[in-house]
Amino acid sequence: MISQELRNKFLDFFKKKGHVIVPSSSLLPDDPSVLLTTAGMQQFKPYYTGDADPLTSIHGTLGKPLGSKNVASIQKSFRTSDINEVGDESHLTFFEMLGNFSFGGYFKKEAIEYAYEFIVKELGLKIDYVSVFGGDRDVPEDKESAEIWKSLGIKEKDIHKAGREDNFWGPTGNQGPCGPTTEIYVKGVEIWNIVFNEHFQHSNKKLEKLSIPGVDTGMGLERLAMVVQGKSTIFETDLFASLIEKINVEDVRVGRILADHLRGAVFLIADGVRPSNVEAGYILRRLLRRAIRLAKLHKLDVKLYEMLGEEVIKFYKNYYLELAEHKKEIIEVLLLEQEKFGSALERGLKEFEKMAQHKVIGGRESFYLYQSYGFPFELLEEMAREKGVNFSKEEFEKELAKHQEISRAGVEKKFGGHGLIMDTGELKAGNEQELQKVTRLHTATHLLNQALHDILGDEIEQRGSDITPERTRFDFKFNRKVAAEELKKIEEIVNKKIKEDLPITITKMKLEDALKSGARAFFKLKYPPEVNVYSIGDYSKELCGGPHVQRTGEIGRFKITKEESSSAGVRRIRAVVEP
Ligand code: GLY
């Protein structure tokens, strides 16, 4: 059974059981405490806690309420925790996760019975054994799940008990729903994790019982395909076979790493991630640069990158339409990164070889390779390991921190020391050049905020913003998709204000006076008693820490690149500025 049949079978099965099928959310999650989407339940977090209602709250991507307390999805997921294991038989960074979820619709009995029926009856597989939560100081043993398994004919000896480490899941990010799990093993492989979200873990690790318990399950498509297709590794399944064949490298491990990393990179790029030195962009850069070095080391075809990108897109594009939609950008990003790193790589490797002769690479040396030749830290670590060279992460980090301190001081001097820059995570710039881009995007974001109010009305409310040198991302409360004509009008207004070359002025005011004057404030931030109000002509007025351009004419052309849902009732706009 090929992977597409497995996807269909899973979704059809749960549809028949009364579930609404929900599309995968983006790999870039709304939750600011997690970099990437790691699980299917992430987009449903507010439904477990009661912050959103499946029957009345508008779901972002569906554009209407979920319509059921029971849903199923195939979620694009990315986990960095296993990145160094990739290359063995079963670890991956990117994977697809099949999951069924319930927010007060059903609980243990149905969840376990559905899983049993799907695995045993639908797929004809034999369950080797299952595991259940054995209990600890805070949470009691899950006797109920064990009883349900017994009622389905699983023998007592095949019901293993384990503790927090193995049979308790979540939360994602620094807080959220979590709970005991029961896992299903087939042919010795853990294929399905069923979580009973009975608790909410607060950021101080304290557990609180959720008023309505929920179900959250996760089954990796790659592992399922492996057992269904009778293969001994995930890389022999149809999900990887054509990729591995294209790579055609003798070293099996290298072939797997390239296949995993390129596949993951393509999906990240399709969801809007671009290589950079921070956050998700850094993860993408790590994948790409590691792959570039390995390809070079094994003397692979220089066109490999492009070929693999094309292959991934070809294989997945019928199910993940975004890959077809963004094909051109995906290939461009792959090639650009190859060009950037490829040319520095050769010289950087020579420097590395020289340093490696001394069997020790110190913090200053490793930072030099990072800074001048663009080697991600983890790649240096890997290279040092291969060569048996002594290498200290701490020393590298010390050096990095020193340099960041220097550039922060430079930025503060320039912008009067009153900056949200680099400490709120709202703006991200690593050097002077990036800072200029971020500054232009920042002023453009203020214009966007006002233009959104002009066109969509005052019910919209800022929910967050995130600015990198590549783009701005603006989240706001709004209950429906923004129509294409509306986006066009918003874009036009911003460009008009840019053309007017309005001056930006700063006024220091008492917080309450500023709020009274009608300046916009972002409710999530705590403001000091005295604040800076930034006005753009008399068009926009916001409480802000800067930095901003002096006149809007410096911004360049403003372009909205994407409008999408961010979470229930919250929309997200991405935009860029061009010179
Ligand atoms: N949320 C369940 C899992 O990822 O296994």
Q: How would you write the pLDDT of the chain (579 residues) with one tens digit per residue?
A: 999 999 999 999 999 999 999 999 999 987 777 889 999 999 999 999 998 999 999 887 888 999 999 999 999 999 998 888 898 888 899 999 999 999 999 999 999 999 999 999 999 999 999 999 999 999 999 999 999 999 999 999 999 999 999 999 999 888 899 999 999 999 999 999 999 999 999 988 899 999 999 999 999 999 999 999 999 999 999 999 999 999 999 999 999 999 999 999 999 999 989 998 878 899 999 999 999 999 999 999 878 889 999 999 999 999 999 999 999 999 999 999 999 898 889 999 999 999 999 888 999 999 999 988 999 999 999 999 999 999 888 899 888 887 776 665 555 444 433 333 333 344 566 667 778 888 899 999 999 999 999 999 988 988 888 888 889 999 998 888 999 999 999 999 999 999 999 999 989 888 888 888 889 987 656 677 788 899 999 999 998 877 899 999 999 999 999 999 887 778 999 999 998
**180: Cα separation from own chain's centroid:** 25
- The predicted pLDDT at position 418 comes to 33
Number of Cβ within a 10 Å radius of residue 70: 21
Assessment of whether the complete model's pTM goes beyond 0.95: no
DSSP 362-404: -HHHHHHHHHHH---HHHHHHHHHHHT-EE-HHHHHHHHHHHH
Q: How many CB atoms lie within 10 A of CB 272?
A: 21
Q: From atom 2 of ligand 1, which residue's Cα is the shortest distance away?
A: 218
Substitution site in 34, 201, 217, 224 for ligand 1 pocket (most atoms within 8 Å of beta carbon): 217
Determine if ligand 1 sits within 6 Å of the CB of residue 98.
Answer: no
Structure letter (DSSP) for residue 274: -
Pick the residue whose CA is nearest to atom 3 on ligand 1: 218
Which residues have a Cβ under 8 Å from the Cβ of 316 and sit 6 or more positions away?
266, 267, 323
Question: Helices marked H in 415-480 — which ranges?
Answer: 432-456
DSSP 8-state code for residue 132: E
From the CB of 195, is ligand 1 less than 6 Å away?
yes
**Residue 217 Cα, ligand 1 centroid: separation in angstroms?**
6
CA distance 267 to 272: 9
What tokens does 331 get? 């290939």
Question: How is domain 3-229 classified at the architecture level of CATH?
Answer: 2-Layer Sandwich (3.30)
- Ligand 1 pocket test, pick from 82, 98, 192, 216 with the greatest ligand atom count within 8 Å of Cβ, gives 216
Question: Any idea which residue has 């001048």 for tokens?
Answer: 372
**The pLDDT value given to residue 409:** 56
CATH superfamily of 432-578: Threonyl-trna Synthetase; Chain A, domain 2 (3.30.980.10)
Q: Tally Cβ neighbours within 10 Å of residue 457.
A: 9
- How many Å lie between the centroid of ligand 1 and the Cα of residue 48? 14
Ligand 1 pocket member 546 (CB < 6 A) = no
Q: Which tokens belong to 475?
A: 């989240």
pLDDT attached to residue 44: 95
pLDDT of the residue at 526? 64
40 Cα: distance to centroid of ligand 1 (angstroms): 7
Q: Which residues of 195-227 are buried (b: 16+ CB within 10 A; e: fewer)?
A: bbbbbbbeeeeeeeebebbbbbbbbbbbbbbbb
Contacts of 130 (CB under 8 A, 6+ apart): 149, 154, 158, 159, 160, 182, 183, 184, 185
Q: Is 291 in the pocket of ligand 1 (CB under 6 A)?
A: no
Which atom of ligand 1 lies nearest, measured to the CA of 39?
Answer: 4
Distance 218 CA to ligand 1 centre (A): 4
CA distance linking residue 302 with residue 280, whole number of Å: 26
Nearest to 441 by CA among 578, 537, 280: 578
Q: How far is the CA of 289 from the centre of ligand 1 (A)?
A: 29
In what order do the strands lie in the sheet containing 472-477? 461-467, 472-477, 570-578, 557-567
> Does the CB atom of residue 96 touch ligand 1 within 6 A?
no
- CB 131, CB 163: distance < 8 Å: no
Rounded to whole angstroms, the Cα distance separating 425 from 506 reads 22
Domain ranges of the chain: 3-229, 432-578
Bridge partners of 75?
97
